[in-house]
Amino acid sequence: MTITEFAILNLATPSLTEETKAALTKIQAIQDDWHKKTFPNSPLSTSKRASAWLQQVEDPSKILTIAQWDTVQAHMDWVASDTNKTVMAELGHYFDLEKGFDLFHVDADFLNTDAPDSFLENPIISLGRLWIPRERKEAFSTRFNQVKPILAAFIKPKIVRVGWREDLPEGATEEESVMVGGWETAEDHLSFTKAPGFDEYSEIHQFQTRADGKHYKRFI
């Protein structure tokens, strides 16, 4: 099963520079090369491994990196590697690592590059996160599956995919549902609130304790 890594970092500079883009392109190539050498038999090594860097629309100082891994542990092996330690030192020139970063893994392949509707081809992607009390997860899933066609019809021909976070914090009492959608613009997504059926769709929010939704534009 392929999982998707999401990591949100804070730029050290007020804007995204060409120097930063060049450095991230180099770093991504280093990670891909490490993956091929470390996991030579992985399907992600023998085919094109999907990864990308995106800038948040709402707060351009926020940068999102997303990538495919076979397992959460495979990514943790990268994190613990000497190669990554060198990469993190390089990242420190471009990101404010003292502010920390938000890292999570989802049990879904959001980046299938073989699919004609790959999210990497969308001008804008939305990243929605809903925190659901564990005892309400099943009820949420049932209701979401009932109303998902409303969103699917609105977003068509683009798509939306949903997964659950794999690496919940220790002692967590909530599950985290992660939803990614493809859009032409962030405004297109926001207009969904005025679409027929939205009131019924919004019933999924009765199950959550909190939510977060942002939009991102790919630059690598």
With pLDDT > 70 as the criterion, what percentage of the chain qualifies? 97
Residue 117 has pLDDT above 70, yes or no: no
Question: What pLDDT sits at residue 114?
Answer: 60
Whether 94 and 127 share a structural domain: no
Q: pLDDT by residue (tens digit) across 56-73?
A: 999 999 999 999 999 999
In-domain check, residue 112: no
| Residue-range definition of the domain harbouring residue 13 | 3-106
Specify whether 12 is located in the same domain as 60. Answer: yes
Rounded Cα distance, 169 and 174, in Å: 9
- Summarize pLDDT for 208-217 with one digit per residue, the tens: 999 999 999 9
Q: Are residues 7 and 93 part of one domain?
A: yes
Strands (E), 165-209: 174-183
My answer on whether 15 and 41 are in the same domain is: yes
Residue 116 counted as domain residue: no
Which helix (H) or strand (E) segment is 23 a member of?
helix 18-38
Mean pLDDT score, 107-134:
85
- Take residue 46 and report the two structure tokens written for it: 């023998």
Do 144 and 102 share a structural domain?
A: no
pTM of the model: 0.93
